[in-house]
Structure 1
Amino acid sequence: MTFFNDSRKTARRIYNKLHLNWLFNTSTFIGNLVIALIISYFFRKLGYGEAVDFVFFISILSIGLWVTEAIPPFAVGILIISILSFGFGTDYLLDTKFPVELFTGTWTSNVIWLLLGGFFLAEGMRIAGLDKALFRFTVRRFGNQEDKLLLGLMFTTALASMVMSNTATTAMMITSVLPLVHAIGKTSAFSKAILTGIPAAASVGGVGTIIGSTPNAIAVGALQEMGVYISFTDWMLIGFPMALILVYLFWYFLKSRLKLKGSSVNLDEILQTNVVVNSFKKKAVVVTVIVTIGMWLTEYFHGLPVAATSAIPILFLTVTQVIAAEHVRKLPWDTLMLVAGGLALGIAIVSVGLAEIVINQINALPISVILVAVIFSILGVLISNVMSNTAAASILVPLAVSLSAPFGITVPIIVALSCSCALLLPVSTPSNAIAYSTGMMEQKDFRRGGIFFIILAPIFAFASVMIWYFLAF
């Protein structure tokens, strides 16, 4: 047995030393391509036409690449736009033609600009030290009792993730609490609660605003293409209460399940850490955050689209030199590439009629449309546990928009909300991965939270969206 173990270790070292990861990725990519071609060959026999067959092939290939990560998710987004432009914009493959701008134009979508504005706000907060100041405020405000401190950390994380990326918020909060976690030990129930509660609050809190989670932006973008405009305030009416309620319920679940009591914890090491903040930059960021979010929330009154007001943080934070060129280069541009590709795929699925074909087949089943909506919400959270929630939303949202009214409006939003609540595995979200990377968590520690949200997230998403729809329309 020792011989075989040593052989495997030696083989692994040789594999890494020779940098053969490219060989694995290449073979995986080719395998996905072959599988997509085989499935598309049988689909072609149904006789829906070359344009539908072509988009179906791209969809299957994209799903495979997103699941296996043979290439990075953002590269899949670029590949989608490239293949669609080549297929529908030239005479080499298809007789059916669409303007190339239909697919490349997703880069100019309101959603892209809204996300970019959010990225600038998050980076400005980080540079000015407001993220750490927010954590220190939480500790001082909620005290040092285990249950109350956990509630404060989770609510702070949830609120921060509504304007910052979930990943950045989790990294900020986990880094801040690590001294405390190391002090009380990995076997402590409070350590488990913190390292489970913070990533969950970051992911679930992200459903509170359009910029809080990428699936939200995908749903808004897809609905916009269908002529349905969801404002920043509209989304908050749906997502904000749902986020806070789910975070509170999960806190209560952790408190009860891990038997947290009112025991006090020593926070001296955290509170004595000095946070050096440039006063001018701090004021500039605070003013920018207030003005930008204020403009987003009052869109109904001034009528300026979010794409226009998203220029406020980009302009203010660069003019005041809070954000410089080197900071801009570090922004998550890969997320924008992935979103643009997902939107392009959704446009193609709808434009060639593939979404209508799928929905017609679903409608032919002996089940009600309400049950179909419930199935979509469950699929959203289940699929997102094993692949990127952005990729899952890119697949499900274009299909959901083709449902009959009112579900063509509500189900895409339900799917987006559900996709952001996948927390079963360490790889389900980057937030989980950050907590797992501390070495203080085991894979099984995520199960309680994952199962909790698999059950409750679709229920709350469905109820929240349907209540909003009937009140708003």
Structure 2
Amino acid sequence: MNRKKIGLFLGVLVFIIFLMLPVPQGLNREAMISAGTALLMAVWWMTEAIPVFATSFVPLVLFPLFGVLKSKEVALSYGHNYVLMLLAGIIIAKAIESQNLHKRIALLIINLIGVNKKKIILSFMISTAFLSMWIANVAVALMMLPIGLSIIKKEEIDNPDSKFSLALMLSIAYAASIGGIGSLIGTPPNLVFAGIIESLYPEAPQITFSDWMLIGLPLTVVLLPITWLYIINFFKIKGSVPGSVGIIKNELKELGRVTTGEKRVFIVFLITSLGWVFRKDLVFGDFVLPGWGSVLGVSKYVHDTTIAMLGVLLLFLVPNGNEKSNKKSLISWKEAESVPWGVVILVGGGYAIAKSFISTGLAEWIGSQITVLENAPTLLIVFLVVLAITFLTEINSNTATANIFMPILATVAIANSTHPFLLMIPATFACSCAFMLPSGTGTNAAIFASEKIKIPEMARTGFLMNFIAIIVITIISYLVVVPFFDLEQIPDWVK
């Protein structure tokens, strides 16, 4: 019996056991069903018993059938603000890809930084990380892959024993994951965190795009060069790749001059990004720069999703400037239909689980049972959480891991008189830092598909890289996240 069949039956068995178990003191039958559903989904997600996106529909069936939540309440999770923001971000990224702007940006960065082996790896990492802040990580990795392979091909002819191909492939995968941490739409776990906070604590301030960038971008900026140094030293990279300058220049030449479509899609992207950054008042000591939401008097009504959807509408309204093309706007509906809708559903399924944990009292009960963190040093707490989530993500989708653990970590933190962000934000970072196995993140899987790297090589390199990331995340969380959100104090919206 293969893994999928075992997972299918095991998930159902776990759910049935939770239906039959006696209800612990302080819980109710609905909470047991909620827990059983979450574990069933966790098993199916980890074993891929059915497609991971299809598993996300389980709450829509089980919660209404067993009286946990009304159908319309569950359905609202799949149309959550942050679900729609993620969808809009994916469509904007698709338009950038459609106009070939992403490839031009990547090639210009590579051409600018230089083309000896160390610089090639650095330039690939910078361009991949930057694009991954705005475009799906896997899409960026797949876009960078053929450019990287064309350079590797030349190196393998002249130096067949070189480790350069391994180093370059892994640098693309690692940079795509690290870059995704830098913005709220960079990777789904970031939006899972923001949405679950909104679901668990309706009185909490919104986690805005600019909020996340101020904590996520420092981690990206610090971890990326450390990763580069690790890779070039681990593989002892030195020298130059013959003909690499010509390869990059030929790629740029094939793109031709910057098109009208590229210029216009960049303007739409810029409007959307600036709209996100300047929606909320920005405070610099005693100086306050009013956000456009305050200026227009609509702060209470607008959300980052509002700006994201404005960007999407502009893509359909603005002509692409190519009279020879049958497609008149910057993106066609056919292209929009081809975006990975499953990721959006996956995030919605996580929100549904979180909603059931709160409504049944399960989250509060779990938190009250776990008091192991009481009186432990903050730095140790963060380190242990990051360590656990990093290695759990190696065997599970990073989005699924975030969906499962975010509500649990929130209640555990509160039960231990700790700000929920203290556990949730480092854990969210850690969801993007599984570097050992193809199953860890989509970027690892994309690079593994190139057949230029074997699992033992990926695991050996990634094992130490995991610990480097764990240490960096812990330090950045303590030095940046804690003071930014004032995590030493428990806010009123938690109480």
- Both structures adopt the same fold (TM-score exceeding 0.5): yes
Counterparts of 1:365 and 1:184, CA distance in 2:
51
Structure 2 vs 1, CA of residues 364 and 434 (structure 1 numbering), >3 Å: closer, same or farther? closer
> What's the offset of the Cα at 1:85?
2.9
The structure 1 residue matched to 2:49, chosen from 70, 87, 90, is: 70
SS in 1 for 2:108: helix
Indicate the residue corresponding to 2:310 in structure 1. Answer: 312
The structure 1 residue matched to 2:475, chosen from 460, 463, 470, is: 463
Indicate the residue corresponding to 1:400 in structure 2. Answer: 409
Structure 2 vs 1, CA of residues 41 and 176 (structure 1 numbering), >3 Å: closer, same or farther? same
The structure 2 residue matched to 1:338, chosen from 346, 367, 370, is: 346
Counterparts of 1:129 and 1:418, CA distance in 2:
31
What is the identity, as a one-letter code, of the residue corresponding to 1:306? D
State whether structure 2 residue 366 is matched by structure 1 residue 358.
Answer: yes
What is the identity, as a one-letter code, of the residue corresponding to 2:228? W
State whether structure 2 residue 12 is matched by structure 1 residue 33.
Answer: yes
Structure 2 vs 1, CA of residues 236 and 314 (structure 1 numbering), >3 Å: closer, same or farther? same
Structure 2 vs 1, CA of residues 443 and 117 (structure 1 numbering), >3 Å: closer, same or farther? same
- Indicate conservation of the 8 Å contact 1:135/1:176, yes or no: no
Counterparts of 2:50 and 2:462, CA distance in 1:
27
Indicate the residue corresponding to 1:103 in structure 2. Answer: 74
Structure 2 vs 1, CA of residues 255 and 278 (structure 1 numbering), >3 Å: closer, same or farther? closer
- Indicate conservation of the 8 Å contact 1:129/1:276, yes or no: no
> What's the offset of the Cα at 1:416?
0.8
Q: Deviations over 1:28-62 (max 9, x none)?
A: 42332013323554464667220111111101101
State whether structure 2 residue 141 is matched by structure 1 residue 161.
Answer: no
The structure 2 residue matched to 1:374, chosen from 376, 383, 394, is: 383
Structure 2 vs 1, CA of residues 166 and 149 (structure 1 numbering), >3 Å: closer, same or farther? same
- Sequence identity, in percent? 24
State whether structure 2 residue 454 is matched by structure 1 residue 442.
Answer: yes
State whether structure 2 residue 121 is matched by structure 1 residue 150.
Answer: yes
State whether structure 2 residue 171 is matched by structure 1 residue 171.
Answer: no
State whether structure 2 residue 213 is matched by structure 1 residue 257.
Answer: no
The structure 1 residue matched to 2:255, chosen from 265, 269, 275, is: 275
Structure 2 vs 1, CA of residues 277 and 33 (structure 1 numbering), >3 Å: closer, same or farther? farther
- Indicate conservation of the 8 Å contact 2:117/2:239, yes or no: yes
Indicate the residue corresponding to 2:355 in structure 1. Answer: 347
The structure 2 residue matched to 1:137, chosen from 108, 111, 115, is: 108
Counterparts of 1:433 and 1:234, CA distance in 2:
30
What is the identity, as a one-letter code, of the residue corresponding to 1:263? S
> What's the offset of the Cα at 1:439?
1.3
- Indicate conservation of the 8 Å contact 1:132/1:176, yes or no: no
Q: Where is the helix percentage greater, Structure 1 or Structure 2?
A: 1
Indicate the residue corresponding to 2:177 in structure 1. Answer: 203
> What's the offset of the Cα at 1:305?
1.6
State whether structure 2 residue 54 is matched by structure 1 residue 56.
Answer: no
> What's the offset of the Cα at 1:242?
0.4
Counterparts of 1:43 and 1:134, CA distance in 2:
59
Indicate the residue corresponding to 1:385 in structure 2. Answer: 394
- Indicate conservation of the 8 Å contact 2:85/2:305, yes or no: yes
Indicate the residue corresponding to 1:184 in structure 2. Answer: 155
Indicate the residue corresponding to 2:210 in structure 1. Answer: 233
Counterparts of 1:470 and 1:166, CA distance in 2:
29
> What's the offset of the Cα at 1:374?
3.4
Indicate the residue corresponding to 1:87 in structure 2. Answer: 66
Q: Deviations over 1:414-440 (max 9, x none)?
A: 111101101111222221111111111
Indicate the residue corresponding to 2:287 in structure 1. Answer: none
> What's the offset of the Cα at 1:364?
5.6
Paired positions, count = 444
Structure 2 vs 1, CA of residues 337 and 149 (structure 1 numbering), >3 Å: closer, same or farther? same
Structure 2 vs 1, CA of residues 471 and 314 (structure 1 numbering), >3 Å: closer, same or farther? closer
SS in 2 for 1:310: helix
SS in 2 for 1:363: coil
> What's the offset of the Cα at 1:360?
1.5
Structure 2 vs 1, CA of residues 416 and 433 (structure 1 numbering), >3 Å: closer, same or farther? same
Counterparts of 1:205 and 1:265, CA distance in 2:
29
Q: CA RMSD in A?
A: 2.3
- Indicate conservation of the 8 Å contact 1:222/1:398, yes or no: yes
> What's the offset of the Cα at 1:87?
2.5
Structure 2 vs 1, CA of residues 369 and 55 (structure 1 numbering), >3 Å: closer, same or farther? farther
> What's the offset of the Cα at 1:271?
2.2
TM-score when normalising by structure 1:
0.88
> What's the offset of the Cα at 1:449?
4.1
> What's the offset of the Cα at 1:221?
0.5
Structure 2 vs 1, CA of residues 348 and 365 (structure 1 numbering), >3 Å: closer, same or farther? same
Counterparts of 1:133 and 1:341, CA distance in 2:
36
> What's the offset of the Cα at 1:138?
2.0
Structure 2 vs 1, CA of residues 166 and 187 (structure 1 numbering), >3 Å: closer, same or farther? farther
Q: Deviations over 1:352-405 (max 9, x none)?
A: 121222222211677637444433222211110001011111111011122225
Counterparts of 1:456 and 1:436, CA distance in 2:
21
Counterparts of 2:431 and 2:375, CA distance in 1:
23
Counterparts of 1:33 and 1:367, CA distance in 2:
39
- Indicate conservation of the 8 Å contact 1:400/1:408, yes or no: yes
Structure 2 vs 1, CA of residues 368 and 357 (structure 1 numbering), >3 Å: closer, same or farther? farther
- Indicate conservation of the 8 Å contact 2:59/2:352, yes or no: yes
The structure 1 residue matched to 2:428, chosen from 416, 437, 440, is: 416
- Indicate conservation of the 8 Å contact 1:376/1:396, yes or no: no
Counterparts of 1:386 and 1:420, CA distance in 2:
13
Indicate the residue corresponding to 2:336 in structure 1. Answer: 328
Counterparts of 2:257 and 2:343, CA distance in 1:
29
Q: Deviations over 1:172-197 (max 9, x none)?
A: 01121111112212642221110011
Counterparts of 1:369 and 1:50, CA distance in 2:
36
SS in 2 for 1:299: coil
- Indicate conservation of the 8 Å contact 1:418/1:461, yes or no: yes
Indicate the residue corresponding to 2:83 in structure 1. Answer: 112
Q: Which moved more, 1:368-377 or 1:328-337?
A: 368-377
Indicate the residue corresponding to 1:13 in structure 2. Answer: none
What is the identity, as a one-letter code, of the residue corresponding to 2:390? V
Q: Which moved more, 1:29-38 or 1:243-252?
A: 29-38
